[in-house]
Structure 1
Amino acid sequence: MAFETLSIDELIKSRRSVKKFKQDDVSIDEIVELLEVAKWAPNHKMTEPWRFLLYSGEGKEKFIQAYCGSQALKDGSLPDKAVKKSEYFRSIPIHLVVVMPEDPRQKTWDEDYGAVSALIQNFQLAAWARGIGMIWRTNDWIYNPVFREAIGVKPGEKVVATLMIGYAEHVPEAKPRTTIREKLEIISE
């Protein structure tokens, strides 16, 4: 598939959540370029409510140790599932944590969350156009104070996503989508 030649419609329809990655490195400069594109998301009052923590190379171990700390049992050991997950995390070229401030005003919080989500979608599409895949995760451990503190998420901030990023080893097939006509109510009078 020649990603660069896809129309925006084709790009949106072809994008997939990738879980299996090649071991090829992804350039941090390229990730920064992609974020520079993604920042053009709709953003009410130009608050730019995003912050990023990028883990690559040896730095991934800090992310993995934060995850392991959040999963540790009372005796300090890890459940088998957490051991497997940490090995999987080591195989992923880049982890990008996207954080936003949690404004106490509901309207501002909603607008900020919408802006950050739009930025993430822009980032996914721009990356997909370059052949870079990812999966947007919001697992329960992102709420664990041990994980949050270990990676430097401050009080009053929300982890919107942990993005696992790399070149796809496997691109999943498309899952069916419901026709919009079944979800659309047209009020014309």
Structure 2
Amino acid sequence: MDISDIIKKRRATPPRFMAKKELEKELILTLLENANWAPNHKKTEPWRFWVFQGESKQRLSESVFNLLEKEKSNGELVNMQKAEKFRDNLMRAPVAIAIIMQRDAGERISEWEEVAAVSMAVQNMWLTATQMELGAFWSTPPFLPLIQQHLNLGTGQKLLGFFFVGHIAMDYPSPGRGPVSEKVQWK
């Protein structure tokens, strides 16, 4: 499969379409190694990844849901339907990888460039997962700031979501794309 085919075959595969089968550590390491080769300015390499599976994923699911229930009862605007969906997705996906941006301490480049670099790292993981015939999904629920506080991230770190990955149980159809000609102007 050439790169154009991999790009066009890439899907956002919700965890409900993932098999309840553990993912081999070597596959996870390949995803992370390829993420590490994303482009970035000044060699800041702002991506950090926390891998959750098995019991650690179970603990994360329970603690985050309990946190969101508590915050809701304290008056925080938390959509509990989305909280339940996030908890369920954490439990369905064999692997959940927290996507964290580590801001360059010297702030030599703008924050948006660091976020873009982390996004490219995630795209590298996603394309690798596609090539391996794995399903993947980047979850960015609106309550990420609450989860970030809960995870006790380090100075300059920002949680950008969770990357769920696993073997595909059922293909998820492509939403397709409109013609590129409608999005390009030749000047």
Please tell me the TM-score bracket, short chain as reference: 0.7 to 0.9
Alpha-carbon distance between aligned partners in 2 of 1:70 and 1:88, rounded to the nearest angstrom: 17
Q: TM-score normalised to the size of structure 1?
A: 0.83
Q: Given residue 25 of structure 1, which amino acid in structure 2 is its aligned partner?
A: E
Alpha-carbon distance between aligned partners in 2 of 1:46 and 1:82, rounded to the nearest angstrom: 36
What is the deviation of 1:183?
A: 1.1
> Relative to 1, partners in 2 of residues 1:137 and 1:152: Cα closer, same or farther, differing over 3 Å?
same
What is the deviation of 1:70?
A: 3.6
Within-5 A mapping of 1:26-175: 26-72=23-69, 73-74=72-73, 79=80, 82-83=83-84, 85-102=86-103, 107-144=109-146, 147-175=147-175
Aligned to 2:143, the other structure's residue is in SS state: helix
Q: Equivalent residue for 2:6?
A: 11
Unaligned residue ranges in structure 1 (runs of 5+): 1-5
Q: Equivalent residue for 1:3?
A: none
> Relative to 1, partners in 2 of residues 1:88 and 1:160: Cα closer, same or farther, differing over 3 Å?
closer
> Relative to 1, partners in 2 of residues 1:36 and 1:79: Cα closer, same or farther, differing over 3 Å?
closer
1:16 and 1:171 in contact (8 A); partners too: no
What is the deviation of 1:7?
A: 1.2
2:86 and 2:141 in contact (8 A); partners too: no
Alpha-carbon distance between aligned partners in 2 of 1:85 and 1:79, rounded to the nearest angstrom: 10
2:46 and 2:103 in contact (8 A); partners too: no
Aligned to 2:172, the other structure's residue is in SS state: coil
1:50 and 1:98 in contact (8 A); partners too: yes
1:17 and 1:133 in contact (8 A); partners too: yes
Render the CA deviation track for 1:110-132: whole Å, top value 9, x for unaligned: 22111111110011101111111
Render the CA deviation track for 1:127-185: whole Å, top value 9, x for unaligned: 111111110111112121xx223323235322122111111112211113121211111
> Relative to 1, partners in 2 of residues 1:66 and 1:124: Cα closer, same or farther, differing over 3 Å?
same
Q: How many residues align?
A: 178
2:41 and 2:109 in contact (8 A); partners too: no
Unaligned residue ranges in structure 2 (runs of 5+): none
Identity of aligned residues (%): 27
Alpha-carbon distance between aligned partners in 2 of 1:160 and 1:82, rounded to the nearest angstrom: 17
Alpha-carbon distance between aligned partners in 2 of 1:111 and 1:84, rounded to the nearest angstrom: 30
What is the deviation of 1:51?
A: 0.9
What CA RMSD, in Å, does the superposition of the two structures yield over aligned residues? 2.3
